[in-house]
Amino acid sequence: MNTSSRNKLRLQRRRRVRAKISGTAKIPRLCVFRSLKSISAQVINDEKGLTLVSAKTDGKVKNDIEGAKKIGVEIAKKCVDMKIKEAVFDRSGYKYHGKVKALAEGAREGGLKF
């Protein structure tokens, strides 16, 4: 019987989604990465291959739902400072609940539109 790991299935979902969305200079891509120790987000311009803004949990921010929301607000604040108002949300194959959902809601509260 051929079984796939959870991460392998997530990477397949990620590739399928990335084939359809990409970030531009006007509307960059907000990409989320979640691990057991931290959650991070990047705003990426795929045309040039540049990371415009990034934020990550560290010693000050816990790796929980509240921490993910703080990271969303922080990355939205940095985007507004760079005059970025809109972004395409890339959840990287993760389910849209828990920390990923909290990060997206925090970014919306911070003034970023998806």
* 24-73 tens-digit pLDDT: 989 999 999 999 999 999 999 999 999 999 999 988 889 999 999 999 99
> pLDDT at residue 1 above 60?
no
| CATH architecture designation of domain 6-109 | 2-Layer Sandwich (3.30)
CA distance 17 to 91: 9
Higher pLDDT, 114 or 100: 100
In the predicted model, what is the mean pLDDT of residues 92-102? 95
> pLDDT at residue 112 above 60?
yes
The residue type found at 49 is: G
CB 53 within 8 A of CB 112: no
The pLDDT tens digits of the residues spanning 72-83 come to 999 999 999 999
CB 104 within 8 A of CB 89: yes
